[in-house]
Copies of this chain bind each other. A is one copy, B any other.
Amino acid sequence: MPDGIGGAERRRVTLDEVARDAGVSRSTVSLVLRDSPLVAEGTRERVRASMEALGYVYNRGAANLRASRTNTVGLLVCDVSNPFFAELTAGIDEVLDGAGVSTFLVNTNESPEKQERSLQRMREQNVDGVILCPASGSSPDLVERLRRWGMPLVQALRYVSARDGDYAGSDYQLGMEMITEHLIRLGHRRIALVGGNLVHSALSDRRTGFTNAMRRHGLAPDLIVRSPLNRRASAEAVGALLDRADPPTAAIGFNDIVAFGMMLGLTDRGLEAGCDFAVAGFDDVPEAALSRPALTTVSTLPFQIGQEAAQLLLRRIVDPNGSPERVILPTRLIIRESCGAAPRRERGLTRG
């Protein structure tokens, strides 16, 4: 029995065999593989034909061992099933795949330990670089350690230290200032900021923006509610706010999901966002335009952040000692109905 049941155990065709078949040397075949301009047109065709005929499959593992680059990178996100990270992932995939780079994905679940293990593993895999959304509670020397490893690193969406290393994200602080200013302009004086129970830059940047805008108008930024980023908790949070002795008249969600949850909480009390209470979101997910009332929010473009992060990493891999870049995409205020500013949409489907 030459082959075992099933016969799947085919031996791999190597460069040497292709070379023999084409009547050239292994080195020449290698050059053809890498599209080197050194090899003559006729030879190239002959080699290509042999590869085809023998069913040659390139062995990246073997190449990686010798070559300096592996054309692989690591991507560590905190929670893929959060649509925001998922969009980011899609943007990254688009750019990296286009550049012929394969991506190792890890879902850290906000666990610094899993993040640590995964980074170590990425290093063992010899990836050319890493894109990291640091888990809440990441050690602050993380960037420095990766630098010592000689491992190109781009942080995305969040950063461990505001002054260190490459980063791609949105201007959360400015975005939050804009939406807060918008509410103040509409006459609100008691405004709450709801959502977020972990510690990371994306949260503190928003808090800073909120606090800055409030203080600028002599208002107290005292209604900051720490709560999980889901609908139910947010609905409960808005209820607690309304039960206060000094209830707010408006609330900004950490993100759109929180805002939707708050609208739900209002509905359950017989109140309506945009009429009885102003609700604002953050991120502008597709659903924001389609909620009733449509959500006033701030767009943050996670897909584009992903693209930027990937491009930045590719640059850093080529030029490891270039000076760090911080790509901050602008945010945009999207005024719809939930803060009561825009005219009520008439019945029927209009563009949100």
A residues bordering B, Cβ < 8 Å? 4-6, 8-10, 57-62, 64-65, 70, 72, 75, 79-83, 86-87, 89-90, 93-94, 97, 102-107, 114, 118, 121, 123-126, 147, 150, 230-232, 235-236, 239, 261, 264-265, 267-270, 286-287, 290, 292, 303, 320-321, 347-349
Asked if B70 and A286 make an inter-chain contact with CB atoms under 8 angstroms apart, the answer reads no
Cα–Cα distance between A210 and B347 once the two chains are bound (Å)? 32
Query: Which of chain B's residues have a CB closer than 8 A to the CB of A290?
Result: 231-232, 235, 261, 264
User: Chain B residue with minimal CB distance to A230?
Assistant: B286
Cα–Cα distance between A118 and B70 once the two chains are bound (Å)? 16
For residue A333, give the distance in angstroms from its CB to the closest CB of chain B. 22
For residue A232, give the distance in angstroms from its CB to the closest CB of chain B. 6
Asked if B80 and A268 make an inter-chain contact with CB atoms under 8 angstroms apart, the answer reads no
Asked if B61 and A65 make an inter-chain contact with CB atoms under 8 angstroms apart, the answer reads yes
Cα–Cα distance between A97 and B113 once the two chains are bound (Å)? 13
User: Chain B residue with minimal CB distance to A118?
Assistant: B97
Asked if A80 and B86 make an inter-chain contact with CB atoms under 8 angstroms apart, the answer reads yes
Asked if A58 and B124 make an inter-chain contact with CB atoms under 8 angstroms apart, the answer reads yes
Asked if A125 and B286 make an inter-chain contact with CB atoms under 8 angstroms apart, the answer reads no
The 4 closest A-B pairs by CB, nearest first: A8-B150, A105-B105, A6-B321, A93-B107
For residue A321, give the distance in angstroms from its CB to the closest CB of chain B. 4
Asked if A80 and B89 make an inter-chain contact with CB atoms under 8 angstroms apart, the answer reads yes
Query: Which of chain B's residues have a CB closer than 8 A to the CB of A65?
Result: 61-62, 65
Query: Which of chain B's residues have a CB closer than 8 A to the CB of A347?
Result: 268-270
Can you offer 23 A-B residue contacts whose CB atoms are under 8 A?
Answer: A8-B147, A8-B150, A8-B321, A9-B150, A10-B150, A57-B124, A80-B93, A81-B83, A81-B89, A81-B90, A82-B86, A86-B86, A89-B107, A90-B107, A97-B118, A103-B104, A104-B104, A104-B105, A105-B105, A231-B286, A267-B292, A268-B292, A269-B348
Query: Which of chain B's residues have a CB closer than 8 A to the CB of A87?
Result: 81
Asked if B321 and A59 make an inter-chain contact with CB atoms under 8 angstroms apart, the answer reads no
Asked if B320 and A126 make an inter-chain contact with CB atoms under 8 angstroms apart, the answer reads no
Asked if A105 and B8 make an inter-chain contact with CB atoms under 8 angstroms apart, the answer reads no
For residue A285, give the distance in angstroms from its CB to the closest CB of chain B. 10
